[in-house]
Structure 1
Amino acid sequence: MDLVNATASTDQFKSSSVDQFQRWYPQYRHVFDNITRANCSVEYRNYKSGIINSTNINYLAGGDKFTALTQPLIDCILDNTSEYLKGSMTSAQVLLGIMPTIITFLGPSHDEMAMLSNVGRRPLLAAGISLAAPSAYFSRAFEYFDPSEILCHHKYRRTQYRPKLDDGWWILVSILEYGVVAGSCWNIVVNTRQVNLWSVSSLASDADFLPGLWLAFGPCIHFFSCFVFRLRLQGWRDTKDGIPERDTSLLSWFKSTPRRLLDFLTITEFVPCATEEYVSRIEGHTESKIFLASAWLESTFTILHVVFGTLVFSGTLFVGTKDALGIVGRYIAGVAFCRIILMYELAGLRESCGSIDGEDPKPKVQGGDNRVEYRMRDKVPTVVESPTHTV
């Protein structure tokens, strides 16, 4: 008798999550609710029990020990779904599948995010933007630009308005920035959680966290890009009478982290980059082997992140076309608003830039002919020459 009980216990184990199939997206909510209760009640009860019986797994239908509860229920729902609804869900899968690529083109680049965090000294704002805009823009894999050219001028750029500390307008600007970024983060997190629980991913139907995992990977890659940026450039933003750091070694940079974090919170974090009393400086470093390897890893991680997002969202089940438009629209809205904030900050950082490798990047007036000379700094030599990075 003990042997029989022991054998039975090895054939049964508990599922990790049973939170799916309870809520659906609005377009076909009534359809899937009715099918689940009327046609697939047995499969739904087995799923809610959370107990997996390995002897009942239908391997020929694509089931395994990880999908033993979800596969029968998904099959039952699809068997009782009309071909018209299946066609609508297929269209939604196409739209959701290209969504990670779409927001990649709309989102900020790694250099822009690192410029705001490392040179602009606003890491909290950059962290919020990285969450709301998880996919980073990249032109070609393993091709990188001179990041300092983000702060260079050309004759067609519009002069950025720079508020003064005494005016108090910078406080309103800062509150507006954090409010927009916080709202975008809330929108992205809620949208992703709804995709987690209101749909099922055919990539791993038992996992209700894959969209959230994709979202979490985005800020991690952005944080890694700040490290890569620091290997190439060192920058400061402080009041005009402030003394910048002079020790450029990476070890000293790590050791000074607590002091720099305190300076971020008290001097620069809550002050917009365009504020007139502040000035920024940049000094470049010669490329190292660590930088080259890290830059290649950054490109690889970015590509894998887009591929993973495409796999997750293109396999989303039980989402209609209208619902998919809402999901994609919310992601795009969050990215677009954060992109506006980032562009404003980088424009302010460009106006406040006092030196790039000891040279003034601002346009200079020639002689007495009232002509303005716009000078782009020389590029730091790169492995692959690439077009100028523009913002």
Structure 2
Amino acid sequence: MTLALAMLSRSVSAIPNDHFFEYFPGYGPGLARVAQNNCSIEISDYHAGVAEGCPSHAEWPQCISGRAVDCLMEHMSEMNKANLAAAGVVLGFLPSILSLVGTSTAESGILSMRRPLLALLLAAGAPVVSPLRMFELTRADQHVPGFTAANYDEVFMGLSDRLRGDHPGRNRVALLVCCVQYLLALGAVANLYVMSYELSVKAVCSFATDTTYHPLLWAVIALAIHGGGAVAMRLRYRDTGTAGDGFRRLVADEEADAASAGNNRNHRNNNRHNNRRNKNLVHRVRSFIYHEFTPSIIQDPTLTLSLRQPRRPRGGRPSTSVLFIILLCGISLGTILHVIYGTLVMSSTMFINTADAIVLAARYLVSTIACRAVMAFEIGGMVTARPPLGSGEPKRGEGSDR
């Protein structure tokens, strides 16, 4: 996230400094020669912010940058212009294709229940969110294709047996799996944002020639959508798999000691209450570290989701069910608009040929597939290691928001 914000701020602050200095390899030498020999005045005016060529639009930055773009386009051959149009087609289809490969907000929300840091990295490493249907309130296992399907067992059961066994190499294998997951996630994040930054400064969006932030903004928006999905998942479900690890007993003891301290304020009860609080904090930290850096396939206790009972509104505040419905509809609409925005940004990219566009699309696809592979491994591990989702759900009429 820090890398994304740093590059986004750098991209925004680059205006009007970095455009028309660097180009993609395919057109780089030719465009650099044209910029130096034929369009030096227009490009210099753009860098200096001079609007002499736009008397009727003196305050319109896109007019200044448009003069430089028009000059470069005038000195391109028709073959290169056709190649540029083909590259726009390749990149224009990219967001829709990636949406078929990418992860959904339900998947990232489920993973964030136990491994929030890994879920954050996987969300940041994939530029597109798999869209959800509007106004469909289905269970989390129906949002995640194959979440309760038996086909995961064939793939992950053997690995689960090896990791759960008592053989000497168990901890080393688990550590290796965790390291590979984070390396893939970090590599996907670095590849995505470096590539988005290059696309921002080496190419130009035809609908906003004076800006350099649109490709980076498109990537960052996906992270925000996944964050909304994680919030929606917590409004809808709770993890009951931690009930057996002593956490609930610590909370109950803390509440009992707090009540006792309120009735009998003596030094012994206050010390006892503080000790319980410190013990609870230590337990929270240890539980976070254990779950974050342990593959889901061997976590104990395993993730068990059950529906939350909707809270009744108090003081004019909406209930959790209403908030969940509003947030879910907003996320569904956001994923659709995000794909449309990405299509607009990518299809309008200028000064990149087909070969460079294919390489760019392949790099986007690699980041998305890497994040998808790690996500599928984690979701499959949860399926293999835990009882069926919803086994702890309330009975009919209890906690249903339908």
| TM, length-normalised to structure 2 | 0.76
Question: Judging changes above 3 Å, is the alpha-carbon distance between structure 1 residues 96 and 261 closer, same or farther for their aligned structure 2 residues?
Answer: farther
Pick from 106, 109, 117 the counterpart of residue 114 of structure 1: 109
The percentage of aligned residue pairs carrying the same residue is: 25
More deviation, 143-152/311-320: 143-152
Residues 35-69 of structure 1: CA deviation (Å, up to 9, x unaligned): 101111111221222x333x541659xx9612132
Which structure's residues are more often helix, by fraction? Answer: 2
Pick from 53, 57, 61 the counterpart of residue 54 of structure 2: 57
1:325 equivalent in structure 2: 358
Letter matched to residue 164 of structure 1: R
Question: Judging changes above 3 Å, is the alpha-carbon distance between structure 1 residues 182 and 156 closer, same or farther for their aligned structure 2 residues?
Answer: closer
Residues 99-146 of structure 1: CA deviation (Å, up to 9, x unaligned): 11111111001101101002xx11111111101113111253333431
2:289 equivalent in structure 1: 266
1:45 equivalent in structure 2: 44
Structure 1 stretches lacking a partner, 5+ long: 1-13, 248-257, 361-376, 384-391
Q: Contact between 1:165 and 1:276, CA under 8 Å: does it hold in 2?
A: no
1:81 and 1:37 map into 2 onto residues whose CA distance is: 14
Pick from 153, 159, 163 the counterpart of residue 158 of structure 1: 153
More deviation, 163-172/90-99: 163-172
Residue 129 (1) aligns with residue 122 (2): yes
Q: Contact between 1:273 and 1:349, CA under 8 Å: does it hold in 2?
A: yes
2:283 and 2:358 map into 1 onto residues whose CA distance is: 43
Question: Judging changes above 3 Å, is the alpha-carbon distance between structure 1 residues 357 and 197 closer, same or farther for their aligned structure 2 residues?
Answer: same
Pick from 297, 301, 310 the counterpart of residue 343 of structure 2: 310
1:87 and 1:245 map into 2 onto residues whose CA distance is: 65
1:193 equivalent in structure 2: 197
1:223 equivalent in structure 2: 227
Question: Judging changes above 3 Å, is the alpha-carbon distance between structure 1 residues 267 and 356 closer, same or farther for their aligned structure 2 residues?
Answer: same
Q: Contact between 1:165 and 1:277, CA under 8 Å: does it hold in 2?
A: no
Q: Contact between 1:165 and 1:275, CA under 8 Å: does it hold in 2?
A: no
SS in 2 for 1:175: helix
The Cα shift of 1:280 comes to 1.9
Letter matched to residue 135 of structure 1: V
Residues 286-339 of structure 1: CA deviation (Å, up to 9, x unaligned): 561221111111111111111111111111110100011011110011100111
Letter matched to residue 85 of structure 1: N
1:117 and 1:282 map into 2 onto residues whose CA distance is: 12
Q: Contact between 2:240 and 2:306, CA under 8 Å: does it hold in 1?
A: no
SS in 2 for 1:326: helix
2:307 equivalent in structure 1: 284
Q: Contact between 2:305 and 2:392, CA under 8 Å: does it hold in 1?
A: no
SS in 1 for 2:296: coil
Structure 2 stretches lacking a partner, 5+ long: 1-12, 252-280, 311-320
2:5 equivalent in structure 1: none
1:234 and 1:244 map into 2 onto residues whose CA distance is: 14
Which structure's residues are more often strand, by fraction? Answer: 1
Q: Contact between 1:52 and 1:69, CA under 8 Å: does it hold in 2?
A: yes
The Cα shift of 1:155 comes to 4.4
1:136 and 1:94 map into 2 onto residues whose CA distance is: 21
Question: Judging changes above 3 Å, is the alpha-carbon distance between structure 1 residues 214 and 330 closer, same or farther for their aligned structure 2 residues?
Answer: same
2:179 equivalent in structure 1: 175
Letter matched to residue 126 of structure 1: A
The Cα shift of 1:259 comes to 8.1
Question: Judging changes above 3 Å, is the alpha-carbon distance between structure 1 residues 64 and 273 closer, same or farther for their aligned structure 2 residues?
Answer: same
Q: Contact between 1:273 and 1:348, CA under 8 Å: does it hold in 2?
A: yes
Residue 148 (1) aligns with residue 113 (2): no
The Cα shift of 1:164 comes to 3.1
Residue 184 (1) aligns with residue 217 (2): no
| TM, length-normalised to structure 1 | 0.78
Q: Kindly report the root-mean-square deviation, in angstroms, between the aligned alpha carbons of the 2 structures.
A: 3.0
